Amino acid sequence: MNISTDSVRRLFEKYANLEIGLADMRDGLGSSWSFERSSSHYSLGLTPVIEPPILIGPNQLKHALEVLVAGRIDAAALQDWANLLVLCDAYQIGRPSNSDEREMLLTLLHAIATPEVHGPLTVQRIENFRDLLEK
């Protein structure tokens, strides 16, 4: 499958904004790309080079929590989303010039990505995350 660089970037942007799911990413990128979960382990196959990387900021995390609360995705889909954002070089978590923001975003993404370590996403935890993102 031959897909343009712009189309690849747009797929990764849509996924970052939860406009599409992993199945749509797999369909759009073809068999050369993979992102799979087995129990609590993720494996990421060949990732296209996206330059500059797609910036992930507080607004994307706020939006993701809103989508979860609205019931448009479940906690497992949000966990997949957080893991892909952290593992994939197509994404830049936080502005490089703002280390506090970057650290806060990475901490929240890791908490979402690893419920087996940090616990499930409860209503209270989601509210706590939203409060942190508002600061």
Tens-digit pLDDT profile for residues 67-118:
999 999 999 999 999 999 998 888 999 999 999 999 999 999 999 999 989 9
- Boundaries of every domain in the chain: 5-134
**Predicted model pTM:** 0.88
Query: Is the Cβ–Cβ distance between 64 and 25 less than 8 Å?
Result: no
The string of DSSP letters for 96-132 reads TT-HHHHHHHHHHHHHHH-HHHH----HHHHHHHHHH
